[in-house]
Amino acid sequence: MAEAVGQIRDEEISEAQIAVHWREEEYYYPSPAFIGQANLTDPDINRRFSIEKFPDCFKEYAELLTWDQYWHTILDTSNAPFWRWFVGGKLNACFNCVDRHLAKYRNKAAFIFVPEPEDEPVVVLTYQELYNRVNEVAAMLRDFAGLKAGDRVTFHLPMTLDLPIMMLACARLGIIHSQVFGGFSGEACGLRIADSGSRVLVTIDGYYRNGRVIDHKVNADIAVQVAEQNGQKVDKVIVCKRHPGRNLSSAPMVKGRDFFFDEIMKEFANRKVDPVSMPSEAPLFLMYTSGTTGKPKGCQHGTGGYLSYVAWTSKYIQDIHPEDVYWCMADIGWITGHSYIVYGPLAVAATSVIYEGVPTYPDAGRPWRIAERLNVNIFHTSPTAIRQLRKSGPNEPQKYNYRFKHMTTVGEPIEPDVWRWYYEVVGKGQAVICDTWWQTENGGFLISTKPALDPMKPGSAGPPLPGIFPVIYDEEGNEVPAGSNRAGNLCIRNPWPGIFQTIWGDPERYVNQYYKRYCRNPNSKDWRDWPYFSGDGAMQAADGYFRILGRVDDVINVAGHRLGTKEIESACLTVEEVAEAAVVPVVDELRGRMPEVYVSLKPGVTPSKAIEEKVVHAIETIIGKIARPKRVWIVPDMPKTRSGKIMRRILAAISNTMEIGDTTTLLNPEVVEQVRQMVQGTGKVEIKAGPEDIRRFGEER
Ligand code: WTA
């Protein structure tokens, strides 16, 4: 199905249109102490990675890895835009993350697992012990589950050590893993199992979240059923246990299909499995993300290019040294966790902390107690988590004796005010901050300050990474002049090693969605003709720094998690009383953006609280609790164009108390005022933004 990408039609609304325009901020500079120890201090880097040096400059990335067979072609564009990096090379990702560190770091912690219950002791997994476990699990995946290189396996796992061990065991054998975020519903998991063609599912009995035990195995039963309805049989479900020897789930085990992990592993104690040497372009994993249609897309990442990209950026942007204790508080179920909890940090022999629970459990001092106790010195989280921690414990950080040298933020724009709290209070004025912009499709950071080289500017992600050449295009495909502070569609001129390879099973959608928009010549084999369309709006200031405005498509970034409005709308339409549904982004003080739902009911149905609750319930079961809307409004009718299209833009203006604009050309202009009064009340409301804030891209701001 052809998708309209980045074309904001009159009736549509996108995040970028409700973006708030911050004023330019002053620079903050990295401290001499940070610079003195940093991995990247050579200003010559910009020359080494200039566009004339592309793509050969990326040799430096490949050199961070250990290759079984060295590559011969750095970038093959013969099947553009399906890029192939480090062609001819062979390597194993697990070997690069585990085995090769044994000689020097055998007894150093690879992972430190912090359970959510504070009285449960932390678990330290050394590189040696990680090696042992990964080998045993690889043996099980091969000999018990019958998996081999190229097969797909789905994980629906929360934040415990089972997840990275499973991932690395797959990587050892060339099995393609597809981890579905643990907070997604069983149904959402089932659809992803079917799309990826996995016949094995790995899950867990339960886990802790916000002080409660979550029964997770129940989701597996739904997932298997939904997968089957969608044409994919799952013949083995492997159930890990949160506490060895105990079962936290009430769900029955299905005989011949469900197996407890600890029971099947007995047979594999002390087994060793040689890493399988994989071609550089062999797929390493799939990561599903939301797009502009209801169907989630499986972003396929390769081995050599991806691993080199996350290794380089972990070393030089996150400034990870093997001596550091690094904690990324994201979930491994998202790309940030894959790249910057597991693959990147391990490729550079880091000690990586994995925290099971929510940041504010049991109180807002928890992260700082963890940091103090484990001596964490690099911290990585999202603006949503920072806002929450600030709100519930603005003075907590100073009560604890930890010291960060480096802090990362990712996933959403960070307000300058929130940035400053992060800098002054969490970082105690000593840590550098990298505001990193990138996407599931990108593999790793694309825009960020180089921590020892570039000054920081609150509210602005910064300059592009070495070897990344962004460009902003307007709707007509003209380049918005660099440094002009004019908004437009953020694109990247060139491919880079971390870029995803395709959408699993749908190469056409890959081309249409990401490359068609600004392609100069569809027959070209030259990368210069194929700019990558990111789906984000952005503007570039005179100093070259980029400010990200948010999505220009039907995706909403809720608390840093990508959700498709179309997915949420289809969930609403499963409620039998609902006739029509429209989902719009609404600004939220804590979560950045949230979905707000408008529904109209079938003739004869009376609106009720019960229907509202049914809508919320449908969204939570079909997608997951993360998609829970801020409000559900049952409206008498949707504002529509004469051709019958729902004017989501008007609904968003109402939800965000923005100027509504002209409605006289609508089919049913009277509905607008009815809906407005319902949402905003009958009193006078203060308009937060006028039409000047929802200008078209490419116009002067
Ligand atoms: C948004 C997460 C502003 C953006 C790694 C992008 C950001 C989407 C930033 C990708 C940032 C990510 N500032 N916005 N530093 N980083 N985004 O695929 O809209 O889960 O398109 O990848 O998050 O989300 P995804």
| pLDDT tier, 405 (very low <50, low <70, confident <90, very high otherwise) | very high
Q: Is 186 in the pocket of ligand 1 (CB under 6 A)?
A: no
Scanning 596-689, the segments in alpha helix (DSSP H) are: 609-622, 648-655, 669-680
Is pLDDT at 8 greater than 70 in this prediction? no
The mean pLDDT of 669-674, rounded to a whole number, is 94
| pLDDT tier, 652 (very low <50, low <70, confident <90, very high otherwise) | very high
Q: Ligand 1, from 500, 536, 555: best to mutate by most atoms within 8 Å of Cβ?
A: 536
Q: Is 436 in the pocket of ligand 1 (CB under 6 A)?
A: yes
Q: Ligand 1, from 5, 447, 557: best to mutate by most atoms within 8 Å of Cβ?
A: 557
Helix (H) or strand (E) holding 418: helix 416-421
Q: Is 411 in the pocket of ligand 1 (CB under 6 A)?
A: yes
Is pLDDT at 692 greater than 70 in this prediction? no
Which amino acid residue places its CA nearest to atom 11 of ligand 1?
437
The mean pLDDT of 195-207, rounded to a whole number, is 98
Q: Ligand 1, from 334, 433, 438: best to mutate by most atoms within 8 Å of Cβ?
A: 438
The single-letter code of the amino acid at 2 is: A
Q: Are strands 212-215 and 206-209 parallel, antiparallel or unpaired?
A: antiparallel
**CA neighbor of 338 nearest in space, from 153, 135, 190, 163:** 163
**CA neighbor of 164 nearest in space, from 96, 234, 113, 108:** 113
| Per-residue pLDDT tens over the stretch 126-162 | 999 999 999 999 999 999 999 999 999 999 999 999 9
**What is the residue whose two structure tokens read 């590189």?**
127
Q: Is 689 in the pocket of ligand 1 (CB under 6 A)?
A: no
* Distance in Å, CA 437 to ligand 1 centroid: 6
Q: Which atom of ligand 1 is nearest to the CA of 562?
A: 20
The mean pLDDT of 373-383, rounded to a whole number, is 98
| Per-residue pLDDT tens over the stretch 599-648 | 999 999 999 999 999 999 999 999 999 999 999 999 999 999 888 899 99
| pLDDT tier, 1 (very low <50, low <70, confident <90, very high otherwise) | very low
The single-letter code of the amino acid at 677 is: Q
**CA neighbor of 154 nearest in space, from 184, 187, 197, 188:** 197
Q: What is the pLDDT of residue 626?
A: 92
| pLDDT tier, 684 (very low <50, low <70, confident <90, very high otherwise) | confident
* Distance in Å, CA 306 to ligand 1 centroid: 18
Q: Cβ neighbours of residue 134 under 8 Å, at least 6 residues apart?
A: 94, 98, 165, 168, 169, 172
| pLDDT tier, 295 (very low <50, low <70, confident <90, very high otherwise) | confident
Q: Is 562 in the pocket of ligand 1 (CB under 6 A)?
A: yes
Is pLDDT at 258 greater than 80 in this prediction? yes
* Distance in Å, CA 126 to ligand 1 centroid: 32
**Which pTM value belongs to this model?**
0.94
* Distance in Å, CA 109 to ligand 1 centroid: 30
Which residue(s) pair with 590 in the sheet? Answer: none
Q: Whole-angstrom Cα distance, residue 445 to residue 436?
A: 6
Scanning 58-201, the segments in alpha helix (DSSP H) are: 59-62, 93-97, 102-105, 127-143, 162-173, 186-196
Rg, the chain, Cα only: 25
With helix as H, strand as E and coil as C, how does 309-362 read? HHHHHHHHCCCCCCCCEEEECCCCCCHHHHHHHHHHHHHCCCEEEEECCCCCCC
The mean pLDDT of 39-64, rounded to a whole number, is 97
| CB atoms inside a 10 Å sphere around CB 123 | 15
| pLDDT tier, 171 (very low <50, low <70, confident <90, very high otherwise) | very high
* Distance in Å, CA 118 to ligand 1 centroid: 31
Q: Is 15 in the pocket of ligand 1 (CB under 6 A)?
A: no
